[in-house]
Structure 1
Amino acid sequence: MTAFKTAEFYEILGNTGGRLDREGPFLVETLAEAPSSVVADVACGLGLHALFLAGHGAEVHAFDLSREMIDHARIRRSHPNLTYAVGDMCALSGGPYGLVLCLGNSLCLLDSTQKVNSFFQSVYDHLLPGGVCVTQTLNYETPAVKRPRIRVERAEIEDGELAAIKRFLPKENHTRLSIDYLGVAPGDMFQASESFTLHHWTARKLSETAENTGLQVKGCYGGFDRKPFREDTPDMVLTIQKP
């Protein structure tokens, strides 16, 4: 267990099957409406969505800033239609794309309007006319995410157990997230930690920034079920198109 990496904690503790059950139909419908099946998945993490769309016939180029995540995804989620590369979400490469994805609250890692503008400008520059960008972030207007909280995630493995202790500390326009990873097995233990600052981007601010680059917001949903976005919906899903 001493060789465990944080990507493996994400893999084991994350509800990967449940996510695709919720998000997959939306992504397949959006892919079918895109002007081409060439897809960029930025901040791709474990490669979950990238592999899913590659399995539905898309040519997928997946990027993440973390070398560890990219190496993990290459091993666990390879496909003939799928390539992985280390890359910054604010500086896309390749294309032109019919569809760009930025899911998993990744946009909230950007801590300034300038960086969000760089993201949308890069999307605009690499999308085909009529191409679509889908972003998904948490809705930080809901009461549940405005208060400090702790969440513990556990999973059993062969002869052992893994756990992640997540601490959320909201402050004004951002939340500090600290995570401690623990793994135990007979005669062995693993510990690791990481922390992030998550900016509280609103639907209005993201929409305005996207439109300032020439993109057009076509939909704002409270989740991948396409229900309308409201102040009390947990997620914010935007569909944004290049004219």
Structure 2
Amino acid sequence: MKTFYEILTPYYDEIFPVNDKQVNFLCSYFPNGSTLLDVGAGTGNTAIAMARAGYKLTAAEPEDRMTDNMKEKANLNKIQINVIPNSMQQISQLRETFDGVYCIGNTLPHLDNFQQICTFLQAAYDKLNKHGKLVIQTVNFEKVLLHQHYSFPLIQKDTFTFTRQYELLDNKIMFTAILKDQSDTHSNTLPLYPITRTQLQNELENCGFHSIAVYGDYGKSPYNTESSGLVISAVK
């Protein structure tokens, strides 16, 4: 039986196309030519864009269908990317170290609990070269916790629609995604850990990071509790 993310893969690039503001933010933060680790790379849109911009990319993604898609696109575009099947919990197994690590697209909250997030942040620190940089991007869970519910706008295309919503239930955020295509409706609900700006900032400091900056979006808008997103950067 296919997983929801396997079902989602053919539509993934239309749902999550290359975000120019995201790429511009990363390019402004990481020095050109840096070695970068993209954790939770999906189908590789951001990794390919960063490699095209002159960075040396390792893209970690555990979903087989997505890594196959990423490799196919990289080959088609003649872009060199090192694609690996490691999950967030497996980056400590890598032998290489990097000038930069980024984990975006609300990937981090898919870890089960705060301790797993702390373990990931420490592993990211350990995998960075001296003065290496980290970028994390998530939904702003302070806003979700405050209002107990949050929905993204409907994504409507010619052949499918896609909805996402977050709801507070027993101290977990239940994330529900619904894909309706021409033949069926596919729904998936999973718990996310609602990591907040304060928790992240404190744990980054505990890991040894400094020069921590917090924004409400990739345009570097000041963060507040009503920001839709959380973008946080830090230096080893």
Q: TM-score, normalised by structure 1?
A: 0.84
**Higher fraction of helix:** 2
Residue matched to 2:113: 112
Residue matched to 1:49: 46
Residues 1:9 and 2:16 are matched in the alignment? no
Structure 1: tracts of 5 or more residues without a match = none
Counterpart CA distance in 2 for 1:231 and 1:132 is: 25
Counterpart CA distance in 2 for 1:204 and 1:153 is: 31
Secondary structure in 2 matching 1:5: helix
Structure 2: tracts of 5 or more residues without a match = 1-5
1:69-108 paired onto structure 2 within 5 Å: 69-78=66-75, 79-92=78-91, 93-108=94-109
Residue matched to 1:180: 178
Q: Is contact 1:64–1:85 with CA below 8 Å preserved after alignment?
A: yes
Secondary structure in 2 matching 1:84: strand
Aligned-residue offset at 1:231:
1.3
Aligned-residue offset at 1:132:
0.2
Q: What is the aligned counterpart of 1:214 among 198, 201, 208? A: 208
Q: Is contact 2:174–2:190 with CA below 8 Å preserved after alignment?
A: yes
Residue matched to 2:62: 65
Counterpart CA distance in 2 for 1:150 and 1:218 is: 28
Counterpart CA distance in 2 for 1:235 and 1:148 is: 12
- The residue type equivalent to 2:103 in the other structure is C
Counterpart CA distance in 2 for 1:208 and 1:110 is: 18
1:229-240 paired onto structure 2 within 5 Å: 229-240=223-234
Q: Is contact 2:201–2:212 with CA below 8 Å preserved after alignment?
A: no
Secondary structure in 2 matching 1:69: helix
**Higher fraction of strand:** 1
Q: Is contact 1:162–1:182 with CA below 8 Å preserved after alignment?
A: yes
Count of residues in Structure 1 that have an aligned counterpart in Structure 2:
226
Aligned-residue offset at 1:145:
5.7
- 1:47-100 residue CA offsets vs partner (Å, 9 max, x unmatched): 111011100111100001212211121122444431211111132124210010
Sort the Cα spacing of 1:211 and 1:86 in 2 relative to 1 into closer, same or farther, 3 A.
Answer: same
Secondary structure in 1 matching 2:141: coil
* RMSD of aligned alpha carbons: 2.2
Aligned-residue offset at 1:153:
2.4
Matched-pair identity in %: 21
Counterpart CA distance in 2 for 1:225 and 1:96 is: 28
Higher relative contact order (CA 8 A, sep 6+): 1
Residue matched to 1:195: 189
Q: TM-score, normalised by structure 2?
A: 0.86
- The residue type equivalent to 1:140 in the other structure is F
Residue matched to 1:26: 25
Residue matched to 2:123: 122
